[in-house]
Amino acid sequence: MACVVIVGSQWGDEGKGKVVDLLTEDARGIVRFQGGNNAGHTLVVGGEKFIFHLIPSGILHQGKACYIGNGVVVDPQVLLLEMDKLDKRGIPVGPEKLRISDRAHVIMPYHQAMDLAREKAKGKEAIGTTGRGIGPCYEDKSSRVGIRIIDLLEPDVLKAKVEANTKEKNFWLTQYFNEEPLDAEHIFKQYLEYGNLLRDYVGDVPAELNEIYSDGENLLFEGAQGIHLDIDHGTYPYVTSSNPVSGSVSSGAGVGITRIDDVLGIVKAYTTRVGGGPFPTELEDETGAWLGDKGQEFGATTGRPRRCGWLDTVVVRRSVMLAGITGLCVTKLDVLTGLAKLKICTAYKTPEGDVVDTIPASLERLAQCQPVYEEMDGWNEDITGARSLNDLPDNCRTYLDRMAELCGVDLSIVSVGPGRDQTIVLKNPFA
Ligand code: IMP
Ligand code: MG
């Protein structure tokens, strides 16, 4: 029996979905514990491409149950749409396969309206959110006025909450942001209907997960976003509104931290970031554009081009520390094939000339830090067929080994292509 957590160690889009899909083989339950449909996981299975925003990537497997924990913010419309799409592709999602926490908060139309209005008002200072209402939904949760999944099943409670919240949001929308108001009655009816459609899927997720644990079976926790988008530990305010660190499994799914055995940190072989905010190793040149093109770096949720740059091990080392990462999963190594020279950032240089291993809390200060690089020779050989480390060219091996050494964690998995089989598994945490 083991509990394994998958986290993104950069700014999201590290390729967590593929690793989750791979490890799902050995797990009984696959669990999301934070974030919402701001996430986008692209999977390629049997040459077919799947994109999920809310449903855990493990859904493609037979005989597994997927869980949406209380820490997730759920847009029921998006969830129902994903269920429907899977159904149409011959993968029915019944209530034995998908469980939704009765305590998860619901993203309402006014959350999305507020998200968009606030971003618009910020102009050049915009965070570059996904515009899905994630932040405002977590705001309401903290303000103790949020609507939870259980409320969708209780018409009187839902009606009162929707009326009160819509009234307040409409004040902000019309009086402060100059936007159109929303209709409470319409929202109430629509969300009551969503409740009816989801009723059978709703349950006490912590109790169900702990039962699986007590039965001696494996659980896999699927983190969304990345640790440097964490609201506490990331590059605030250019962050998301949840905590992608591994510790959130406890608050966001109801499984205690003493149950966790391993934390796998997913590291893209280079770095990307979508949206605004600091990015010390960003390449605003031909190489950056080349990486974006070769790596197909477009947001799975918004379609925005991702910013690209060299691997930053200051960023990854901090994630190792913050999330207690016990194994590294390197993804998209094949994208680097064909570059004559590769750079790895090993430290930052402060304006005073000190070489440091810290990310300053002050964004002004961070902007003054320069990455310190180590340069390495690249490789030209196609590595997408590699199935063991011995199949990799020497320079590629050297790059990988240096990555692991600088991050201070052993390699668990190396991905050399989008397909499920294009993978080198060195250490399976469930084995
Ligand atoms: P929000 O989560 O939509 O509020 O967006 C806040 C920031 O997090 C923006 O910079 C987004 O681009 C970023 N973000 C949110 N979810 C993801 C993700 O799954 N991958 C990468 N970036 C994300
Ligand atoms: Mg993504």
CA of 156 to the centre of ligand 2 (A): 37
Q: What is the pLDDT of residue 409?
A: 98
**Residues forming the active site:** 13, 41
Token pair recorded at residue 48: 């077919």
CA of 303 to the centre of ligand 1 (A): 12
Q: Which residues line ion ligand 2, judged by CB < 5 Å?
A: 13, 40, 300
Q: What is the pLDDT of residue 346?
A: 98
Q: What is the pLDDT of residue 299?
A: 87
- Hey, whose CA ends up nearest to atom 9 of ligand 1? 129
Q: What is the pLDDT of residue 168?
A: 98
Q: What is the pLDDT of residue 163?
A: 98
Q: What is the pLDDT of residue 50?
A: 83
Q: Ligand 1 pocket test: which of 274, 298, 304, 308 has the largest number of ligand atoms within 8 Å of its C-beta?
A: 274
Q: What is the pLDDT of residue 51?
A: 86
The ranges of the chain with pLDDT < 50 are none
Q: What is the pLDDT of residue 154?
A: 98
pTM (predicted TM-score)? 0.97
Q: What is the pLDDT of residue 48?
A: 82
Q: Does ligand 1 come within 6 angstroms of the Cβ of 127?
A: yes
